[in-house]
Structure 1
């Protein structure tokens, strides 16, 4: 009888170490050697379980972003259109989007995407898919809202939510995040009034 595979456990160990490394040293400073050291493994183990650097970076992006996408989908699933849109706003401006350790990794990816075409495509694919999903929720909840208008509104909503989250560690008064959410709600209400 053979030994049980430890591949899933090792991949998780490496991805957690990679996230810590990227949060601390950025993408460029997170070499396979540095990640291996943080994981308590050899570089050859990192390559064995994760592949080359591009494959490791892709896996790290999925590791960090997938929980957000999944929890947003769970928060909005099974609701009628208007309630789904309200739940989406609740999610984007709620505690799920509060600053946490993953934000430094996500910001490193976005920053790295400015200089790396392959990485830019990877990050853009995720965010453009999210934009389309938010736009679809807007169109379903706001009869008469067209495709182009819903995409603009979705982009604005995401920018507002992500900017709100990014500035969350600064000592702005609580009225600022609340005001941003209220502004997002007014923007969505105005779409309904025009339709």
Structure 2
């Protein structure tokens, strides 16, 4: 078996350094020179292995967000349609999404996208894909749930989960997290009942 690609190693080293820089100095303060210094490289290395600033920011976004989306898919893998909704809620409100330094990077990039149409489009594409994945999970678990409704539910779940993650560092009682998770399940259960499926659904006799 051959050695791992040096280019892949260098690229990972640069993106790790970029994440540390953005977490500490913000997006605007993370120049290629500063990222190069954090990585222990020259600016020419940054351009050689990753590209210009736009390409670096795009690669950084993928670097920090992809593991979260992959983990969401893995949390649902191998489960029946009925098992996926509870598993999805457990994942969205569980320790897997506990706050860490990556959140500072993600928030800096989202904030930066307010003034960068190109970056905003890229971030939107990522979250829209997550929204579609969650909506598909909802439709598979709730037969009869239409696409528009499943997208609204998916968006609500994502907002609840990410809002909770944002406030997690504050000293709210642990019951807040439990209550929000229960509220998410109640929301899904009420929609399932409306479509005659899932817990609490009424039969026709």
- TM-score, with normalisation over the residues of structure 1? 0.96
Name the structure 1 match of 2:30.
30
Distance 1:69 1:80 in 2: 20
**Cα deviation digits, residues 71-100 of structure 1 (max 9, x gap):** 111110121111111111111000011111
Name the structure 1 match of 2:171.
171
1:1-195 to 2 correspondences below 5 Å: 6-195=6-195
1:168/1:4 CA distance change after superposition, 3 Å: closer
Consecutive aligned runs of 4 or more in structure 1 exceeding 2 Å deviation: none
**Cα deviation digits, residues 110-156 of structure 1 (max 9, x gap):** 11111110000010000000001000100110111111111000000
Distance 1:71 1:157 in 2: 16
**Cα deviation digits, residues 19-40 of structure 1 (max 9, x gap):** 0011111111111001001001
Superposition CA RMSD, Å: 1.2
In structure 1, the gaps of 5 or more residues are none
- TM-score, with normalisation over the residues of structure 2? 0.91
Distance 1:175 1:113 in 2: 34
Distance 1:13 1:133 in 2: 30
Secondary structure of the residue aligned to 2:168 is: helix
**Cα deviation digits, residues 162-184 of structure 1 (max 9, x gap):** 00111000000001111110110
Distance 1:189 1:108 in 2: 35
In structure 2, the gaps of 5 or more residues are 196-205
Q: What is the Cα deviation at residue 4 of structure 1?
A: 8.3
Secondary structure of the residue aligned to 2:171 is: coil
Secondary structure of the residue aligned to 2:115 is: coil
**Alignment length, in residue pairs?**
193
Distance 2:186 2:110 in 1: 29
